[in-house]
Chains A and B, each alone.
Chain A
Amino acid sequence: MLFTYVTYKIIWWALVGGVLTLYAWTAGFDLGIGALLPFIARKNDERRVLINVIGPTWDGNQVWLVFGGGAIFAVWPAVYATVFSGFYEAMLLVLWSLFLRPIGFEYRAKIQNAIWQKTWDWALFVGSAIPAIVLGVAFGNLMRGVPIHFDDTYRSFYDGTFWQLLNPFGLLCGLVSFSMFVAHGANLLLMRTDGIIKQRCWKASRAFSILFMLCFATAGVWIACGFMGYKLVYLPTHPQADMFKTIVHTVPSGLLANYSVYHWMVIAPMLGFAGGLLSLCAGFVRKAVASFIGSMLMILGAVLTFGFSMFPFIVPSITNPNQSLTLWNAASGVYSLSVLFWVAIFVLPTIGLYTLWVYAKMWDIISSETIAEQGHELY
């Protein structure tokens, strides 16, 4: 084995973060464009422009979520089990919303009927906006801590309700993810459309970049003003130790603790703000590519801020802090972590190459004229 167990645990923490970032970078603009669909595209051909911008690539982008889920299953089985069963209704909400997207894209243009198509436009809106919000709400609740406990056979129990997930901090994080995905979607459209749609996208990009920075800052201030976080006080050194021999305390502003130890981590929230500003300012001088880079940085900053603030926690327990899941006690065996690492090392760069090839081949400005000319071949 090339690395130690501890190293593999950290590598996989970083890799899961990387996959989440890739999901947010790619499917993020798909969700954002879906959420903007009924508003910045009013006529049928305008809506088809938006759908066909992401038409050839939405499916591959969504696979990052599938891979992310599979990776969490394999490397942190306890996290996968606890979160998916604990957030039962929220997961159904995301899942059922995501149902609407593949069907909407594929079936919308298959029947030439205005009511049919308008219905699917709204279905695509719902299927995009809800996951964009609920994913943020879920991450917000992870930061806050989740009411979970385990019995002596390590069976997990969720001691809360769905409605408790909709607490103010969770909803604020939902707004953070929603605004960042919508800004990212608008920024992609700036590069791939023209005319009236592009004009509307400048406005959307600006508004949602500002909203992102406001919400992101509010969350930071809230945490600094004593929002409860978690501190790992004792960690058994034996790598095979029972899962919950750890001792965890709750401390005010605990989510900031890592930043005072590792000062360089401050770069994460700074990236988030820098990205927001870039997205906003590039909009004033009409630089679409710079705006898009801005929203990429926004997303990277937000994901890193989440990871750095939480480290080493993944699912802290608000009711039984000692039974919190961390990357130390939730990880799979070293063998699973290492074989999957080797697969990932070879496969992920390959995915990068062919995905970029597909993007390069399909990269084009789409306009109402494109739809008029090639309508029956498109979505």
Chain B
Amino acid sequence: MVASPAVVELSRLQFAVTALYHFLFVPLTLGLSWLLVIMEACYVITDKPIYKDMTRFWGKLFGINFAMGVVTGLTLEFQFGQNWAYFSQYIGNIFGVPLAVEGMVAFMLESTFIGIFFFGWDKVGKVQHLFSTFFLAIGSSLSALVILVANGWMQNPVGATFNYHTLRMDLNSWSQLWLNSDAQVRFVHTIAAGYVTGSLFVLGISAFYLLRGRDLAFAKRSFVIAAGFGLAATLSVIYLGDANGVEVATHQKAKLAAMEAEWNTAPAPAPWNLIAWPNQAKQKNDFSLQLPWAMGVLITHSLDTQVEGLNPIMAHNKLRIKRGMRAYDLLQKLRAGDPSPQLLAEFKKYQPDLGYGLLLKRYTEKVTDATPAQINMATKDSIPNVQILFWTFRIMVACGFFILWIFILANVFWLRDTVWNKRWFLRLTLYSIPLPWIAAEMGWTVAEVGRQPWVVNGILPTFMGTSSVSTSQLHLSLAGFIIFYTGLFFVEMFLMFKYARLGPSSLHTGKYHFETIAHK
């Protein structure tokens, strides 16, 4: 018996809120940790105390952010079991494995060495401390790798088979799980986005000190390190974002067509909808502004490959739903008694479409008795929300290219040694700090909304994945999360602003702006 639509919607809302909230803190951890490694390496090599001060000051801001990452990450670990129990049981064999590895390999490394990073300055040698910071950074990046292997499997489920005895998926290839091309590309795209976030954060706050004319030596060095690292990272994000598009074109045709609001397959090379107003009910765009040939070139990197439109995809899905009904019927027979080899062989033939049959569970518990009208409704459910995908994707890309220009200009201007007086550019940099966050949140929305109606692509519909909890339990938890998270958000932002404004004076070394003023 699947959960009521209200339970499904509340569970999805809660997951969206808590996961997107968690990802407010992750990218900064990912990026800032490597900037700390670079700054500290400069300290170890040059022995100049200013680099130590830089590591410690940016480390202070890192710590304020990191605590929130720990807290909000715990929520997700609990939530798979609390709210997505059927999902957890159905794919725990596979999805749980990288999660366990994440705890063992990544979090342990990160969380153990962070103690040395903050409190070990006088207790371990310089090189030992640098290595601790390095392990902190590598632990953070590894956790992103592992979580994207897990999420990549949900997008492109490879290396697993359905077990009809236990009614769940079983892992059968460790290497396919880890070398999943989808996971690899999205991992690099995601951590590079984190590196961009960290870089623009340091760049923007350094620009603030330059604008105020404070702690100039400190701010200039921070600015230059962030500008160089950030440019490399932004180029990686965009390059891997493009590779990601090619992956999606291979494994998730509906997601791609929805991102581009392409309802019908256009002859290659297809035009590209620069702006459009998709209408899901009528299965067409109410309005669109097209660039000829552009989609063929941008997505398929060729002039003769087609991008399949949503309407033909749905027609194809309808056939798969019908085959899925057959698979479901065979599964019932297998479970009812001892299976004959013929029955097993036939089930094997239809099993790849079992998930499509399960889409009907929303309308009929029995699946096999679905009416043509119910099949049509399930078919309409089989593509994601086009409006959301089309726009979130475009906002993400726009932010990405805007950030690219900031980093290009930052590097050009500092190489010419003119940036320090370009107040308009410094101001622009400061106010651009939120952009990588917006891009990252939009990116995850594209990834997750684009996978709908599936929680595991083609295998398990999202509405089947929930727990058997009540709406009142969900109201309680959702309200609790919103209250907690809103409060924590204000506290975190207050501290972040307080310490960013204070700058390196917060280190109590006696060398920086507010301290020297106080002494005069």
Contacts and interface: CB of A to CB of B under 8 A. Distances in A.
Contacts of B468: 85, 155-158
Contacts of B469: 85, 88
Interface of B: 1, 63-64, 66-68, 70-71, 73-75, 77-78, 80-83, 85-86, 88-97, 99-105, 107-109, 111-116, 118-121, 123-124, 135, 163, 165-168, 170-172, 174, 335, 467-469, 473, 476-477, 480, 484, 488, 491, 495, 498-499, 507-508
A81 B123 contact: no
Interface in A115-161: 151, 153-158
A81 B85 contact: yes
Given A59-B114, A80-B81, A80-B92, A340 B491 contact: no
A128 B329 CA distance: 51
A340 B171 CA distance: 11
Given A84-B85, A98-B74, A335-B172, A103 B118 contact: no
A73 B81 CA distance: 8
Interface in A303-350: 332-333, 335-336, 339-340, 343-344, 347-348
Interface string A342-364: 01100110010011001001101
A76 B473 CA distance: 25
B115 A243 contact: no
Interface stretch (A106-114, A250-258, A275-283, A291-299): A106-114
Given A89-B476, A99-B71, A377-B119, A339 B82 contact: no
A69 interface: yes
14 contacts: A56-B120, A57-B112, A63-B108, A66-B77, A70-B96, A71-B103, A77-B93, A85-B469, A99-B74, A103-B491, A111-B498, A332-B170, A340-B97, A377-B119
A60 B115 contact: yes
Contacts, number: 246
Given A73-B96, A336-B94, A351 B473 contact: no
Contacts of A82: 85, 89
Contacts of A158: 468
B306 to A, nearest CB: 38
| 5 closest residue pairs by CB, A with B | A77-B92, A84-B81, A74-B96, A67-B103, A56-B115
A340 B100 contact: yes
B164 to A, nearest CB: 9
Interface string A228-266: 000000000000111100000000000000000000000
Q: Choose among A67, A73, A105, A364 the residue with the greatest number of B CB atoms under 10 Å from its CB.
A: A73
A146 to B, nearest CB: 14
Q: Choose among B100, B101, B112 the residue with the greatest number of A CB atoms under 10 Å from its CB.
A: B100
A106 B117 CA distance: 14
Nearest to A243: B166
A333 B102 CA distance: 20
B495 A362 contact: no
A106 B85 CA distance: 33
Contacts of A66: 73-74, 77, 103, 107
B85 A333 contact: no
Given A59-B115, A85-B467, A95-B75, 12 more contacts: A56-B120, A63-B111, A81-B88, A96-B480, A103-B68, A154-B89, A155-B468, A333-B170, A333-B171, A335-B170, A336-B94, A361-B120
Contacts of A70: 77, 96, 99-104
B165 A241 contact: yes
A102 B111 CA distance: 11
Contacts of A57: 112, 115
Contacts of A88: 82, 467, 469, 473, 477
A78 interface: yes
Contact of A95 (B74, B101, B112, B499): B74
A77 B89 contact: yes
Q: Choose among A55, A98, A332 the residue with the greatest number of B CB atoms under 10 Å from its CB.
A: A332
Given A92-B476, A155-B468, A335 B103 contact: no
A358 B94 contact: no
Given A89-B473, A154-B167, A106 B63 contact: yes
A362 B103 contact: no
Nearest to A159: B468
Contacts of A84: 78, 80-82, 85, 88
A77 B85 CA distance: 9
Given A80-B88, A156-B89, A336-B94, A362 B81 contact: no
Nearest to A354: B112
A347 B104 contact: yes
A62 interface: yes
Contacts of A75: 96, 100
B374 to A, nearest CB: 19
Interface residues of A, number: 72
B468 to A, nearest CB: 5
Contact of A106 (B1, B64, B135, B484): B64
Nearest to A154: B167
A99 B82 CA distance: 17
Given A56-B116, A110-B499, A351 B108 contact: yes
A358 B116 contact: yes
Given A66-B103, A95-B78, A102-B71, A60 B85 contact: no
B81 A83 contact: yes
Nearest to A84: B81
A243 B168 CA distance: 11
A154 B167 CA distance: 7
Contacts of B88: 73, 77, 80-81, 84
A2 to B, nearest CB: 15
Nearest to B78: A95
A85 B84 CA distance: 8
B100 A242 contact: no
A85 B467 CA distance: 6
Nearest to B473: A88
Nearest to A104: B67
Nearest to A62: B111
A70 B147 CA distance: 12
Given A88-B82, A107-B491, A56 B119 contact: yes
Interface in A24-62: 52, 55-57, 59-60, 62
Contacts of B172: 333, 335
A85 B97 contact: no
Contacts of A99: 71, 74, 484, 488
A214 interface: no
Contacts of B1: 151, 153, 155
A362 B122 CA distance: 10
A185 B385 CA distance: 52
Contacts of B508: 376
Nearest to A342: B174
A85 B85 contact: yes
A59 B119 contact: no
B318 to A, nearest CB: 24
B64 A361 contact: no
Nearest to B109: A354
A362 B119 contact: yes
A351 B104 CA distance: 8
Nearest to A158: B468
A74 B89 contact: no
A378 interface: yes
A55 B117 CA distance: 12
B6 to A, nearest CB: 16
A20 interface: no
A91 interface: yes
Contacts of B63: 106
B116 A362 contact: yes
A240 B334 CA distance: 14
B80 A73 contact: yes
